[in-house]
Structures are given as C-alpha cells and as structure tokens.
C-alpha cells in the first residue's frame, strides 16, 4: 500500500499543477494520500468548480504528466522557500510553522511544478501515474477549523493499472447506489427538516415500519434471553453524571444544561447511571444476579454540524442498551453470552462473521491515570476476561491500545460503511468503576454485602446506525420481514379494484403489509414504481389473470401470478399457499 500512497500523493501534485495552470491566481494548500485515493485543497478566489470541470482538468493533467520524469527533491532554507512560494499564502503559513518547530523544509519538482513537500513520490511518474480519475469536489476549512477560510477540496484516485482503476470505479458506482442517504430519500425512509434541526432524522411512514420491526425483534429476543426491558427518563440532574463521572469525561459530548427551578438537567448521553439508580431502589440478593437491565434508550451526544452524516452520525439516537449487573466470578460467562447474542443478531440481520464484522479488543493504558481509572489489578482481570472471551470465537479480532472506556476495557464490534469507513456497531464493556461510584451492592451467599461488576453492552447498537448499515447491506431491498411494503397488488383497470381490495384485506388479516395501487397511472408506471421501491412481491390483476375465476370472493381456489423484485415470475399459484409461504418467510426472518 505504501507504493500506492506514493502514487496517489504524487497525483495530488499533478492535480495542483493542472489547476494552477488552468485557473490563474489559484493557490494549492495540502494534498495527502488517503484510503483509496487522495485529495488536494485549493483557494480558488471567486471561482467555483463542479464535476463538470473534471474532464478539462484531467486533460490538462495528462498533458502536464508527459513531461514528468522524476520528482527532484531538495532541502532549502526558510528564506529560499519563502521566495519560491511568495505567491501562495498557505505554503507561506506552513513554512513559518516548519521554521518555528525546526523542521527541515523540502521542495520537490517532478518536471515543471515546484511544490513544498516532505516527499514520498512515484519513482517513474510519467509511466506509473497514468491511471487516475477525479471523483468529487467539496468544501473544507483550511486546517479543519471553522474559523478559517473554506477551501475547495478535490478528491481523486490513482492506481498502478488500468484494470485496478476500472474495478475500483465500478465498486464506487455500486457504493453510490447503496449509499443509505441516497436510498433513504429514494425509498422515503427518513427525512430531515431545517425547522426541526440538523442531525435529527424524522422517520417516515415506511422507515418507521423498519424501525419498529427491528425494535420489537431485539426487545423480544432479549426478553427471551432473560433481559428485563425498562424505561428510564431521557433527562436527569447534572449531579447524576457527576456521580457517575461521565460529566468531566464526556462534558464536550454533552449538550448545555436545562434550568428547571433551581436545578440543572442534562439530556442524557448514556443510560448506565439511570439503570444504577433503578437497581439501587431495592436491596438485592445474589439469587437475582446476573440482573440484565435493558432499554431502548434515547441518547444525546454532541456532533459538530460538519460531521453529521445521514443516520450514521446524528445528534440523538436510540441505543439498544443494557447493563448486566453480575457477581465478578460470572463476568466471563456473561461476556460470552453477550457475544452469542451479538453473533445471533448479526446473523439474523445478514451480517457475516469476518466479512462484515470483526472484534476489536479496546484496551486501557496503565500509565494514563487521567484518562483511565487507576487500578492495575482490575484492568488486568478485566482485559483478561475479555481477551479470553474473544479468543474463543471464530471471529477475527484485533487489539487496540488506548481505546478503552474510562471505567474499563471493551470489545467493539467493528463494521465498515459502504465508503469503507470503519465504525463501531456494537460494544461490550467490562466496568469495575461505576459499581464503586454508585455503591452498588448485593448480598452474597454468605449473607455479606459484596460489590458486583457491570457489563455494559449493546446488541444491535444504535437503531439509526444499524438501519444505515442494513440499507447499505441490502441496497434497500430489505428481507421480507423488514420490508415496509411486502406485497403490492396492481389491478390493471378499475374493473379489478374490488377484487384487488379483497386480496388486500386477506393479506392484512394475515399480517402481511400489502398495498393496492388504485390511482390512475399506467400499469407500466406502477410496476416500475413498485420495482424502484424494492417491494419483494408484486401481483397483477387483470383479464388474463382472472379468466374463468370468481372475482366476488377470495377462497381456496383463488390463484394469482406474482413477480419478485428480482424479476422472477410465477404464474397461477394458489393464493392461500402463497400467503402461507410469505408468513413463513416473515416468521423465520428469511434473508
């Protein structure tokens, strides 16, 4: 990959050379290689660029590249560098910084374009750099700070071979089609409103069905596994989070306080202290442990408006959260049972071990007493328990230093979104700190007070995030049980409306989410619409389909012809049998 990074970073120079040639007065800022490509930032003055300009720019890049034989690199002193880049205020600012910190200043020139750069380039640019492509354009603040000027950022990529480039571009197109933001709009699953505010999705009629199905699935599954699903308030006094210790650690992620009479209340950033208060409302015996307190909890965490993204990064989300209060000797067993649940749930949703998700063991740092609670023995025990649990799984895992919670280590279940960005989908955390802070106790089998440990966990994570992953996983063509509309009935003309409604009524009585399309669009338009909406099953009701059949009632002889969203057709199948087949497919949550 190092080689490809060099290639891509070199390509950022090439893009800079082309832009500066094409747009007089343009100044290039930084241009690093990134995962699968590169970007280059520009101050273009009043000029705005769009993807329509890419062809022209790429042609210019090709033209320039002909004369790029090799990157010549040389060290220069501050004075020389300032002279060379007098025309570029961004480079000047960087030179000043390098001078202050005593860094070496290097310039390079691949042929006819002098740039400030610390190196790492293609060794044979003219030949190696041929297979590039510009991809998109966006705004980006200089040095990432909103206080600075907004620059124009052009993204592109470059590969060693033409085939690699092509297959990457195909993959990108595919990703675009699966993008949950695009599909969320196209399939009308969720919307945003300026008046309601950024990062706060409103779930539409269709999206709400997906959400409710998921919520009920996880609540029912957890109840089966001896969880107690409870309800606790979404706001609480600031003192609760001071007691938990979240306030100092998470302050930056919390919203400003709400004043009620003479007290300050916070939108909750997490559920744990609420569950601990519930636990503490009664004394408990070891016989009641492990006590699995779960909640579909709405949580509120600050995200900068610039970092919000669809359902993946929002300002309020609903976490399928739980806190398992257990005797410490049972902790390993509990972590294991949680991983069983996670793997079961991932499987039902169609996420594959190793391919779609893997484990990350996020560890503490014994030396960092600011970030982590100090208790080496507890950390050793906890990390041992988690490492052991992860080790016994058939799922690949990595260890990540310094990624633990302040109260203990955790197992993160990692997934990638369609753009390749890795995110934590679910998590299992071992907590030996909160029980102390909240003075949680139970009476052990010797009749003595003892301190439990707490396993924090999410099973399907945040509802918003898992739905984003699901949309991208299925490109919006959800399994039947999750599909907002499961069956669309298309009468070819008004004559067949009544019979279509009878079929629809039978579906509804049998728990099938069916829809009869009775507006005055053409049949072709209706089929297209249902297909675009990725409805799993369609049936058309017309003269041909009903020939010789009674149309005043649905009975055991009723037959229909169906087609699936992938185009598979079945003619004259028994309607009752078809509905039974759908019911089975729904009940077994077929993928």
**Near a second copy by CB under 8 A, which window of 58-66, 105-113, 137-145, 204-212?**
204-212
Q: Site for a second copy (CB under 8 A): which residue of 5, 58, 93, 277? A: 277
For position 510 contacting a second copy by CB under 8 A, the verdict is no
Q: Site for a second copy (CB under 8 A): which residue of 46, 252, 261, 394? A: 261
Q: Site for a second copy (CB under 8 A): which residue of 34, 78, 170, 260? A: 260
C-alpha–C-alpha distance, residues 430 and 437, integer Å: 15
Q: Among 406, 390, 400, 278, which residue's Cα sits nearest to residue 342?
A: 390
Residue 92 or 219 having the CB closest to a second copy: 219
Q: Between residue 147 and residue 166, which ones bind a second copy under the rule CB under 8 A? A: none
Q: Between residue 239 and residue 258, which ones bind a second copy under the rule CB under 8 A? A: 239-240, 243, 255-256, 258
Q: Identify the DSSP state of 162.
A: H
**Where would I find the H helices in 495-546?**
497-509, 523-532, 543-546
Q: Site for a second copy (CB under 8 A): which residue of 119, 233, 384, 391? A: 233
Using CA atoms of 142, 146, 150, 153 in order, give the dihedral in degrees to the nearest 10. 60
Backbone φ and ψ of 385, nearest 5°: -60, -45
Q: Site for a second copy (CB under 8 A): which residue of 23, 265, 406, 576? A: 265
- Judged by CB under 8 A, the number of residues near a second copy is 57
For position 141 contacting a second copy by CB under 8 A, the verdict is no
For position 237 contacting a second copy by CB under 8 A, the verdict is yes
Handedness of CA 235, 239, 243, 248 (dihedral sign): positive
State the pairing for strand pair 227-229/291-300.
parallel
**Near a second copy by CB under 8 A, which window of 55-63, 86-94, 198-206, 557-565?**
198-206
Distance between alpha carbon 133 and the CA centroid of its chain, in Å? 26
Contacts of 345 by beta carbon, 8 Å cutoff, 6+ apart: 218, 221, 459, 460
C-alpha–C-alpha distance, residues 81 and 115, integer Å: 10
The distance of closest approach from Cβ of residue 555 to a second copy in the complex, given in angstroms and rounded to an integer, is: 24
Tokens matching residue 338: 């949680």
For position 45 contacting a second copy by CB under 8 A, the verdict is no
Q: Among 454, 440, 486, which residue's Cα sits nearest to residue 589?
A: 486
Q: Site for a second copy (CB under 8 A): which residue of 367, 519, 547, 552? A: 519
Residue 381 or 514 having the CB closest to a second copy: 514
Binding mask 291-310 for a second copy (x = CB under 8 A): --x----x-x-x-xx-----
For position 285 contacting a second copy by CB under 8 A, the verdict is yes
Q: Among 590, 591, 573, 587, which residue's Cα sits nearest to residue 511?
A: 587
Instruction: Give the E-state strand segments of 397-521 in sequence order.
Output: 397-400, 410-416, 422-431, 442-443, 449-450, 453-462, 487-491, 514-516
Residue 5 or 188 having the CB closest to a second copy: 188
Q: Among 151, 441, 156, 471, which residue's Cα sits nearest to residue 311?
A: 471
Residue 58 or 239 having the CB closest to a second copy: 239
For position 366 contacting a second copy by CB under 8 A, the verdict is no
Count CB atoms within 10 A of the CB of residue 540: 20
Q: Identify the DSSP state of 32.
A: -
For position 229 contacting a second copy by CB under 8 A, the verdict is yes
Contacting residues toward a second copy, per CB under 8 A: 188, 191, 193, 195-197, 200-205, 208, 211-212, 219, 228-237, 239-240, 243, 255-256, 258-261, 263, 265, 267, 273-274, 277-278, 280-282, 285, 287, 293, 298, 300, 302, 304-305, 315-316, 518-519
């Amino acid at each position: 990959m190092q080689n490809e990074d060099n290639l891509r970073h070199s390509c950022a120079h090439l893009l800079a050379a082309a832009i500066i040639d094409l747009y007089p007065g343009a100044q290039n800022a930084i241009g690093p290689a990134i995962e699968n490509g590169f970007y280059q930032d520009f101050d273009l003055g009043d000029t705005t660029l769009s993807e329509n300009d890419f062809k022209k720019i790429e042609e210019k890049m090709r033209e320039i590249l002909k004369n790029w034989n090799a990157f010549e690199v040389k060290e220069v002193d501050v004075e020389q560098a300032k002279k060379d880049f007098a025309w570029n205020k961004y480079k000047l600012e960087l030179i000043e910084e390098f001078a202050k910190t005593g860094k070496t200043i290097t310039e390079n020139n691949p042929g006819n374009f002098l740039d400030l750069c610390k190196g790492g380039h293609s060794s044979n640019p003219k030949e190696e750099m041929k297979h590039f492509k510009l991809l998109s354009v966006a705004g980006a603040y200089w040095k990432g700070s909103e206080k600075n000027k907004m620059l124009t950022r052009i993204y592109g990529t470059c590969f060693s071979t033409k085939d690699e480039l092509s297959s990457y571009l195909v993959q990108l197109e595919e990703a675009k089609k699966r993008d949950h933001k695009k599909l969320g709009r196209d399939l009308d699953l969720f919307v945003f409103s300026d008046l309601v505010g950024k990062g706060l999705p409103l779930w539409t009629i269709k999206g709400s069905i997906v959400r409710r199905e998921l919520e009920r699935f996880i609540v029912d599954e957890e109840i089966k596994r001896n969880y107690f699903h409870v309800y606790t308030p979404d706001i609480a006094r600031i003192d609760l989070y001071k007691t938990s210790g979240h306030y100092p650690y998470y302050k930056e992620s919390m919203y400003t306080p709400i004043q009620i009479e003479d007290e300050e209340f916070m939108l909750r950033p997490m559920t744990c202290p609420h569950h601990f208060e519930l636990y503490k409302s009664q004394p408990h015996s070891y016989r009641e442990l492990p006590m699995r307190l779960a909640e579909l909890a709405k949580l509120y965490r600050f995200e900068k408006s610039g970092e919000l993204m669809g359902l993946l990064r929002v300002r309020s989300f609903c976490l399928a959260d739980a806190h398992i209060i257990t005797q410490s000797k049972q902790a390993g067993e509990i972590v294991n049972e949680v991983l069983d649940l996670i793997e079961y749930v991932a499987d039902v949703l169609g996420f594959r071990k190793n391919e779609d998700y893997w484990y990350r063991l996020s560890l503490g740092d014994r030396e960092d007493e600011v970030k982590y609670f100090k208790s080496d023995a507890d950390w050793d025990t906890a990390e041992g328990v988690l490492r052991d649990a992860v080790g016994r799984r058939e799922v690949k895992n990595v260890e990540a230093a310094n990624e633990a919670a302040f109260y203990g280590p955790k197992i993160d279940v990692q997934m990638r979104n369609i753009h390749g960005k890795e995110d934590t989908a679910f998590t299992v955390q071992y907590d030996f700190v909160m029980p102390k802070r909240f003075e949680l106790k139970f009476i052990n089998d010797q009749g003595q007070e003892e301190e439990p440990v707490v396993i924090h966990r999410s099973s399907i994570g945040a509802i918003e995030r898992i739905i984003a992953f699901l949309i991208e996983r299925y490109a919006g063509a959800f399994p039947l049980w999750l599909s907002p509309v499961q069956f669309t009935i298309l009468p070819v003309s008004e004559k067949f409306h009544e019979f279509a409604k009878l079929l629809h009524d039978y579906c509804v009585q049998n728990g099938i989410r069916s829809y009869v399309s009775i507006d005055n669009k053409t049949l072709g338009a209706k089929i297209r619409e249902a297909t675009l909406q990725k409805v799993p099953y369609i049936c058309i009701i017309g003269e041909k389909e009903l020939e010789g059949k009674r149309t005043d009632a649905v009975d055991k002889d009723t037959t229909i012809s169906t087609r699936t969203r992938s185009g598979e057709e079945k003619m004259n199948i028994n309607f009752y049998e078809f509905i039974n087949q759908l019911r089975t497919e729904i009940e077994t949550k077929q993928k």
